[in-house]
Structure 1
């Protein structure tokens, strides 16, 4: 059990450890969730979980991939909880379209209406196709193709071998291509 009150030195230590990574964590969370408020909530949940464990954070060698792994796990947990709630809230009519979990939407840029217009039809088709991918596949494509992470860093976050990342990327891209091809059919 953690103490109810924390010292100022612990708060300073936590701030020094985590603050340099907050912008990257938020950007990653925003891409995963697709909306600023949900991204803020996700990062806040992670910070609340980690604050009592400041001593453990000090012992972590490379904090960036470790924090991203914690954030990704929190995202997956929220997604699972959202799906459970979705299954419970679906009516007998089977109207699933009105009960989609917010985490199944494509993570958007959040740049506003002008940027959305500039993306055009092709951009919307890619977003829709990406939204149909399972969250783990969507997260992998976002980490590598959108955020530009190295395969080694992704492997650390997902706790798999780097070679596994290569094969998963190939499968994810293939699935995305198939979905795009279906969308382009008349």
Structure 2
């Protein structure tokens, strides 16, 4: 199994999404002893702004080669970090990751598993009154659904709502990461 690990938080070692994405990758490696992992930090090594590149690129090739993609995605201002958005823009390539046909768009990444380590300062999951402001997980679901990939979220939610809530959120997220199935 080939794993691609992407981190996008600007908060370094204090980042909840980085800690959680690392725990997910550790769990995948435990479950698949032969797994190889490629790592990309889109903050330390920024991706140039683009809007879907024609043909191949190292970033696209890296994504296409992976069986599982683990993405550390914090919520910034109700959406994804701009660094992560720039990386995502390199993946949407007509004829490579999706195509248009008579019945509309079709994703070409059907065998790919996406696991998102989501962190949020507040609580945005339904039935929260703030659920309508979630443009992080809804965007990622739409984007990867468009590509035909299967996406799942492990979230630490409410990490900015005091020490007790932060610890509960992190404990719950780490437990979910530890329970991940290999395939």
Higher helix share: 1
Q: Which one has the largest radius of gyration?
A: 1
The two structures have a TM-score, normalised by structure 2, of 0.25
Higher strand share: 2
The two structures have a TM-score, normalised by structure 1, of 0.24
